């Protein structure tokens, strides 16, 4: 085992595109990690078989055996059930319906396993390992294909009765807005989810050519990214500016609701904010005064996550650590997380 005297955990981050398995310790040090495509279009049973091999390879690489693993942490897409240990119906994983992933992992490893959704896992990672570690009131916002939140309030993860705490991507901002795959209209995610923004701009490009926007995409609109839209807007492109301004206004509206609901000390933002930095955060901060009281904004810091691409591994690790802590304090709790 690569030297550490701390408890050792196995962390599994299940995503629609890839699955990551890592071994880490209580300080947040990742000792070894392996990846594989999730192949979400296939039966989850196929994933289970491949996961077994990936776990064994990761343990071998870390020089660790299963009996040395204190607990397994499993971060999965929502909606999911902590109580049942199941992935219920992720929108981007249509073959995955009511899948008992926690029981599967426990059968494969023989180790106690804790599960939570990926946004909550990221919030726990920020609380345990991030720039604002130990700050009792913080929110992590996933800012990628979808939008979700891991909310720490009073030093505790906000789970919710049905594990829906932090599903801010599906707050309805405009009931007459565009339909969302979740079944509602005008959700924050339909306006500000990365994939939804890109699809909306690409649809308009078909009838409203924009050479500058295509240039920022590397010459092909099929390769359009949120960063390209932001850069083109910053250069004065009319089409990009229209969509980028709407994106910023709706994001400020959503973040304002989060601020007024939880009054956090810090809001930490994921992928899009990491890539764009001040190109996103400066205009977002300027707009927030329209949607939140000055008192709620006075001590608020908004930052891109310093954990960067490690957030998936560290999130699953944090789920394991939090689960172990819960097991110590509530030894009869079922499926602690």
Indicate whether 242 pLDDT > 70.
Answer: yes
Of 24, 29, 48, give the one whose Cα is nearest residue 38: 48
Of 276, 250, 320, give the one whose Cα is nearest residue 74: 320
Classify domain 134-306 at the CATH class level.
Answer: alpha beta
pLDDT of residue 57: 98
pLDDT in tens, 45-66: 999 999 999 999 999 999 999 9
Extents of the domains making up the chain: 8-123+310-329, 134-306
pTM of the model: 0.92
Whether domain 8-123+310-329 has CATH 3.30.420.40: the reply is yes
Asked, colleague to colleague, whether 8-123+310-329 and 134-306 share their fold, the answer is yes
What is the rounded distance in angstroms from the CA atom of residue 169 to the CA atom of residue 177?
A: 14
Measure Cα distances from 5 to 23, 24, 27, 67 in Å. Answer: 14, 12, 10, 15
pLDDT of residue 146: 87
pLDDT of residue 94: 87
Q: Is 127 left (phi over 0), alpha (psi -120 to 50) or beta?
A: alpha
């Amino acid at each position: 085992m690569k030297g550490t005297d701390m408890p050792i955990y196995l962390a599994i981050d299940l995503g629609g595109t890839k699955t990551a398995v890592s071994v880490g310790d209580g300080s947040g040090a990742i000792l070894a990690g392996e990846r594989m495509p999730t192949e979400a279009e296939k039966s989850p049973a196929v994933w289970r078989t491949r996961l077994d091999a990936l776990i064994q390879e990761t343990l071998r690489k870390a020089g660790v055996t299963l009996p040395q693993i204190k607990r397994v942490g499993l971060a999965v897409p929502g909606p999911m059930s902590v109580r049942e240990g199941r992935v219920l119906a992720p929108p981007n994983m249509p073959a995955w319906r009511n899948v008992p992933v926690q029981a599967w992992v426990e059968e494969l490893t023989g180790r106690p396993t804790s599960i939570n959704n990926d946004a909550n896992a990221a919030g726990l990672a920020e609380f345990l390992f991030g720039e604002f570690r130990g700050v009792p009131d913080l929110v992590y916002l996933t800012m990628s294909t979808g939008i979700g939140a891991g909310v720490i309030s009073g030093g505790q993860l906000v789970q919710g009765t049905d594990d829906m705490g932090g599903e801010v991507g599906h707050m309805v901002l405009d009931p007459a807005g565009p339909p969302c795959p979740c079944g509602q209209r005008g959700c924050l995610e339909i306006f500000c989810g990365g994939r939804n923004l890109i699809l909306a701009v690409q649809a308009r490009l078909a009838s409203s050519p924009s050479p500058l926007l295509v240039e920022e995409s590397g010459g092909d609109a099929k390769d359009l990214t949120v960063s390209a839209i932001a850069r083109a807007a910053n250069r004065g492109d009319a089409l990009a500016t229209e969509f980028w301004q709407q994106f910023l206004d709706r994001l400020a509206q959503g973040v304002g609701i989060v601020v007024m609901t939880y009054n956090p000390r810090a809001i930490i933002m994921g992928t899009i904010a990491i890539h764009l930095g001040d190109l996103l955060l400066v205009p977002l901060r300027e707009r927030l005064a329209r949607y939140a009281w000055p008192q709620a904004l006075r001590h608020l810091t908004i930052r891109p996550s310093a954990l960067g691409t490690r957030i998936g591994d560290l999130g699953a690790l944090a789920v394991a650590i939090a689960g172990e802590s819960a097991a110590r304090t509530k030894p009869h709790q079922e499926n602690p997380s």
